[in-house]
Structure 1
Amino acid sequence: MASSTSALAIRPDIETPLRRIVREFATSRMAMAGLVLLVLIVAIALFAPVLAPQNPYDLNQIDIMDGRLPPGSHSLSGQLFVLGTDDQGRDMLSGIMYGLRISLSVGVASALVAAMIGASLGLIAAYAGGRIESAIMRLVDLQLSFPSILVALMILAFLGKGVVNVVIALIIVEWATYARTARATALVERRKEYIEAAECLALSSRRVIFRHLLPNCLPPLIVIATVQVARAIALEATLSFLGLGVPVTEPSLGLLIANGYQYMLSGKFWISFYPGIALLIAIVSINLVGDQLRDVLNPRAHS
């Protein structure tokens, strides 16, 4: 008895799934660099009111006479504009910090809601089968047959500008991708013993789907959600650049880029250039994290 107890005591710790994911994620330097950048970007967005030199949309802090100043210039009152100003005299560094808040909020909110709707419909389609599955998947095929940007433009042309309207448009554009992924994963899980055991216990369909089927379908959905956040940020920037996204009172990175587009040929490149660099870094960092998550959560890599 004592020998068995000592054997258990010296047995090495069994690696938990979460610990394995963290360990394998840390093996990629590019992924870690992307994660560090992403954490930094999120921190800047969250604490923009504290970190920004000015509130770029507070009229009491803006002077039109400071418009289109190059990077490193000082205002008439002595304030330093590290990245210059736009045509309205707003500090570009502050505008980027506040713009990140809107861009990230739109991307995360639309991806989360679209994931909940799409994953639910995909799981229901895989579990129910028959006419329900056929109807849901025909709707998915119809949605995916149209270009995303075209659908979003049509929706915003009807709803009008606004952060909430942009989120609604992106949800409608994105949900079908989650539905198809969830259905494909659930069809594999549907035939496994634990689902048959749950059905033998006469559990309700809702409990089987959301308590037993959904947890085992999460890994690919998490990867898709990460990629879709970056895609939503890019789509929102495109819509705002085209004038159908967020209003000027709620600036995003896309709107900041659009504000300086007309001044590019006159040498005032910084008005669009720096918001464009911030947008690029945000999208690349999210994609780097998503790519590594795809490799870590791929069950074939650990079979």
Structure 2
Amino acid sequence: MSTSTTIVAEESPFRRLVGDFVQSKMATAGFVVMCLILLCAVVAPWISPQNPYDLVQIDIMDSSMPPGSVSAEGLKFLLGTDDQGRDILSGIIYGLRISLIVGAGSALIAGVIGSSLGLIAAYVGGWVESAIMRLVDLQLSFPSMLVALMILAILGKGVGNVMLALVLVEWAYYARTARGSALAERRREYIEAAECLALSRARVVFHHLLPNCMPPLIVVGTFQMARAIALEATLSFLGLGVPVTEPSLGLLIANGYQYMLSGKYWISFFPGLALLLTIVAINLVGDQLRDVLNPRLRR
């Protein structure tokens, strides 16, 4: 009598993570929208009907045309044109590039700075931790928009200045999250083993402590990216963000705000819809990542 043995391969953590993520249809839809938005931003020069900021391609006679109109040259404006004759669809595609660069860039830089300070505060402790966390508390006590407005009022417009302002208002969120996660990992066996091997503090913090604190930082990063895009749009709408030569979605919304009451809704409506879809998609992905990466929050 023979017996057969069945060997079941253990599922990899990555496949299990993907499987848990796609259980949410809303998060999957948000991820697809995120990929489409990123793709449009990357290949903007090749897919947009025109370069809306090339004076050679713009005709003032095409100004304020409603969605679906066709120009004298035969160019169809699916979403209409603005007061200067620029195609709204092309403006959205190009505006997504600036919004994503500012949002993702500021979130990444703030994440590196804030996470490093939070890990150092939790591992070193003492007066170093007190000094860092008091600085974090001071930063979080001021409204983010007010701080960003003050910085840009001093530095002026520009993509680099907007990113710097957003980094200065975002890093504290990463620092607090990293410190909280690191404190839970500080007395684990693997940290004590690394200290017994006389490894340097930098190696213990960034090679052993940081990888185990990454899940909550990834979740914070997605939400902070959406928040940075919204803040940049608000700053550009107020006239303190990016210059007109490097337009973002916020600037596109501002361009058509004065024409809303005259019936030319499409100038601001479609850029605002693109901004809303971008922020909602990122938040949906971040919300599902929070559930997937934290077993205690899994539904």
TM-score range with shorter-chain normalisation?
over 0.9
Instruction: Tell whether 2:54 aligns with 1:58.
Output: yes
Q: Which region of structure 1 is more displaced relative to structure 2, 69-78 or 238-247?
A: 69-78
Deviation at 1:50, TM superposition (A): 0.4
Instruction: Tell whether 2:275 aligns with 1:279.
Output: yes
Instruction: Tell whether 2:141 aligns with 1:145.
Output: yes
Deviation at 1:78, TM superposition (A): 2.1
3-state SS of 1:110 partner: helix
Distance 2:225 2:160 in 1: 16
Distance 2:67 2:23 in 1: 38
Residue number among 113, 119, 125 corresponding to 1:123 in the alignment: 119
Superposed counterparts of 1:78-227, under 5 Å: 78-227=74-223
Distance 1:116 1:125 in 2: 14
Deviation at 1:100, TM superposition (A): 0.5
Deviation at 1:301, TM superposition (A): 4.5
Distance 2:141 2:97 in 1: 32
Determine the structure 2 residue equivalent to 1:263.
259
3-state SS of 1:248 partner: coil
The share of aligned pairs that are identical, in percent, is 73
Deviation at 1:75, TM superposition (A): 1.5
Instruction: Tell whether 2:249 aligns with 1:253.
Output: yes
3-state SS of 1:142 partner: helix
Q: Could you tell me which amino acid in structure 2 is paired with residue 166 of structure 1?
A: V
Determine the structure 2 residue equivalent to 1:291.
287
Deviation at 1:13, TM superposition (A): 1.2
Cα deviation digits, residues 151-176 of structure 1 (max 9, x gap): 00000001100001100000001000
Q: Could you tell me which amino acid in structure 2 is paired with residue 102 of structure 1?
A: I
Distance 2:118 2:55 in 1: 48
Residue number among 33, 39, 63 corresponding to 1:67 in the alignment: 63
Cα deviation digits, residues 113-159 of structure 1 (max 9, x gap): 00000000000000000000000000000000000000000000011
3-state SS of 2:220 partner: helix
3-state SS of 2:163 partner: helix
Q: Could you tell me which amino acid in structure 2 is paired with residue 127 of structure 1?
A: Y
Conserved? CA contact 2:290–2:297, under 8 Å: no
3-state SS of 2:213 partner: helix
Distance 1:21 1:158 in 2: 45
Q: Could you tell me which amino acid in structure 2 is paired with residue 97 of structure 1?
A: I
Determine the structure 2 residue equivalent to 1:16.
12
Deviation at 1:66, TM superposition (A): 1.0
Residue number among 224, 232, 246 corresponding to 2:228 in the alignment: 232
How many residues are aligned here? Answer: 297
Q: Could you tell me which amino acid in structure 1 is paired with residue 147 of structure 2?
A: V
Cα deviation digits, residues 82-119 of structure 1 (max 9, x gap): 11101111000000000001101110000000000000
Distance 1:289 1:24 in 2: 12
Distance 1:270 1:241 in 2: 16
Determine the structure 2 residue equivalent to 1:25.
21
Q: Could you tell me which amino acid in structure 1 is paired with residue 172 of structure 2?
A: A
TM, length-normalised to structure 2: 0.97
CA RMSD of aligned residues (A): 1.3
Listed as ranges, the gaps of 5+ residues in structure 2 are: none
TM, length-normalised to structure 1: 0.96
3-state SS of 2:73 partner: coil
Distance 1:300 1:224 in 2: 17
Cα deviation digits, residues 215-274 of structure 1 (max 9, x gap): 000000000001111000000000000000000000100000000000000011000000
Distance 1:301 1:200 in 2: 34
Cα deviation digits, residues 185-233 of structure 1 (max 9, x gap): 0001001111011001100000000000000000000000011110000
Cα deviation digits, residues 36-87 of structure 1 (max 9, x gap): 1111111111111000000000000001111111111122222111111011
Distance 1:108 1:43 in 2: 14
